[in-house]
Chains A and B, each alone.
Chain A
């Protein structure tokens, strides 16, 4: 049977990829990131994650505004590494599980009324790939099967935070009705605070980032009615990606156990990682 064994919220900053590919773990500017992710990778391995559902957004790698889906899920056994302008990264293509994806699609569409675009061919970019090698082994090949779930957080109108929360609830229902064994990590990516345009370029908000990290763990429902304007005011226009963490949190139990947290605010973006586990113990 399918079971959600981990919830992960993570930034997907593109410079992570450059740092990873050029082995910057001993560079004091980058060491905090490598050290911040290492315990998460070890724990995900220890609990035996077999599948990762990654809620992310494409950045003009395989989707363009001529036709732009609000929700698009991969249903393939392999996802090529996209070319974002500098050639594809030297990583093995991301491996999928099309049977698992089609099961999720059937459940999400029929039981939870999420009418997804299904992609049997999909190239992935830093939205998924920046954190992925920090979380999972990939040499000689990835040790998890991945389901990319792309969300429009670029071209307004965007799906609401509440809609992403509900997507998470739908994902939980879908995973738990999977008849085969699957130990699933649900990963919400993006953020935290950043703005990449206008003379507010470089806006960051450390206090809001920390408040968000606390709320996503302990009181996520305080976040689901925040309009996009509020997310943008607090965290910068491009920080609306943070709403994708709610799809992860909506897939978890109301109470969760914190396994690990990391935060670093160097240059343009609040870099963060949260690792959670269901808490099924009764409240005292």
Chain B
């Protein structure tokens, strides 16, 4: 049994966004959050590496971001999905891409599990 305060990740495939994760992912999430401003998106697209350096990201974080490894960023890096979704605005990834990746499926496999496919790259 998980305690309300501790969240021992007892729900399979679930990484509850706790204070510990928020502390670990603070820089990563701050970087992703910053992309809600158009000038920051422009700065990132012009020079991804330089922009990430200006946000104080580690090499591990920069590599995962450039590889689009959402799974590791959330499961190991303290990423908050709501902040990381801002990264979709500067990459070609959409919500179903990252969902399929986190489930270990192709996008096609994932979409077959849905009742109605509203948008392929939603």
Residues on A close to B: CB < 8 A?
A: 15, 18-19, 29-30, 59-61, 64-66, 82-87, 154-157, 195-202, 227-229, 232-233, 237-238, 265-268
18 A-B contacts (beta carbon < 8 Å): A18-B119, A60-B33, A64-B29, A66-B26, A86-B89, A155-B22, A156-B16, A156-B19, A196-B99, A199-B12, A201-B99, A201-B102, A202-B99, A202-B103, A202-B110, A229-B2, A229-B4, A268-B95
Cα distance, A117 to B7, chains bound together (Å)? 27
Q: Which residues of A contact B12 (CB under 8 A)?
A: 199-200
CA distance A96 to B26 in the complex (A): 32
The dominant DSSP class at the A interface is: loop
| Cβ-defined contact, B118 with A29, below 8 A | yes
Q: A46 to B103: give the CA distance in the assembly, Å.
A: 46
Q: In the complex, how many residues of chain B place their beta carbon closer than 8 angstroms to a beta carbon of chain A?
A: 51
Once A201-B99, A201-B102 are accepted as A-B contacts, the answer to whether A84 and B86 lie under 8 Å apart by CB is yes
Chain B residues with Cβ under 8 A from A157's Cβ? 4-5, 19
What residues of A have a CB within 8 angstroms of the CB of B118 in the complex?
A: 15, 19, 29-30, 266-267
B49 at the interface (CB under 8 A from A): no
Among B10, B14, B35, B122, which residue has its beta carbon within 8 angstroms of that of A200?
Answer: B14
What A residues does B19 contact at CB under 8 A? 155-157
Q: How far is the CA of A71 from the CA of B106 in the complex (A)?
A: 39
Contact residues in B for A195 (Cβ distance below 8 Å):
14
B14 A267 Cβ-Cβ under 8 A: no
A-B interface, 7 closest residue pairs, ranked by CB to CB distance from nearest: A85-B89, A200-B13, A266-B116, A199-B13, A198-B13, A201-B99, A197-B81
Docked complex Cα distance between A59 and B11 (Å):
23
Query: What 0/1 readout, one digit per residue, does chain B (88-120) give for beta carbons within 8 Å of chain A?
Result: 111000010011001110000010011111110
